[in-house]
């Protein structure tokens, strides 16, 4: 497979369930991202992993728990979600330069997303 893949593509879960979203990138990148896209709202960056370390957490509720076991895989563990968490969850990856003062080609490549419905 090439690019960025996400599984599952669709997920329906109850508020008491525990589920995980998986993202895998085949691009040799060193940074991975989770985004949330809700209806009628701009894309929101949730988590950033750079060189496998979490470098950004944009005030995301603790019911979302990311895991990055290696530079190619990223998980988003979900538990006790709320109906308002229903959204499209997008994963992305990019190649981040060692020196952030010299912007390089850091285009983010997105997966197809997981459409989540919380009942």
Partner 1 sequence: GIQVEQSPPDLILQEGANSTLRCNFSDSVNNLQWFHQNPWGQLINLFYIPSGTKQNGRLSATTVATERYSLLYISSSQTTDSGVYFCAVESTGGFKTIFGAGTRLFVKA
Binding residues vs partner 1 (CB under 8 A): 33, 37, 41-45, 48, 55-56, 58, 88, 90, 92, 100, 103, 105-110, 112-113, 115
Minimum distance of partner 1 from residue 39's CB (angstroms): 11
Residue 75 or residue 109: which is nearer to partner 1 going by CB? Answer: 109
**Minimum distance from residue 107 beta carbon to partner 1 (Å):** 4
Q: Which is nearer to partner 1, 75 or 110 (CB)?
A: 110
User: Which residue lies nearer to partner 1 by CB, 80 or 108?
Assistant: 108
DSSP the chain: --SEEEE-SEEEE-TT-EEEEEEEE-S--SEEEEEEE-TTS--EEEEEEETTEEEEE-S--TTEEEEEEETTEEEEEEES--GGG-EEEEEEEE---S-TTS------EE---EEEEE-
Residue 42 beta carbon to partner 1: minimum distance, rounded to whole angstroms: 5
């Amino acid at each position: 497979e090439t690019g960025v893949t996400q599984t599952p593509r669709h997920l329906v879960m109850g508020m008491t369930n525990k589920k995980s979203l998986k993202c895998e990138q085949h691009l040799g990148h060193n940074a991975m991202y989770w985004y949330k896209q809700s209806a009628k709202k701009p894309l929101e960056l949730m988590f950033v992993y750079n060189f496998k370390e979490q470098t950004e957490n944009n005030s995301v509720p603790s019911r979302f728990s990311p895991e990055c076991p290696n530079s190619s895989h990223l998980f988003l563990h979900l538990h006790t979600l709320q109906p308002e968490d229903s959204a499209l969850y997008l994963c992305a990856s990019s190649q981040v330069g060692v020196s952030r003062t010299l912007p390089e080609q850091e285009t983010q490549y997105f997966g197809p997303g997981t459409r989540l419905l919380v009942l």
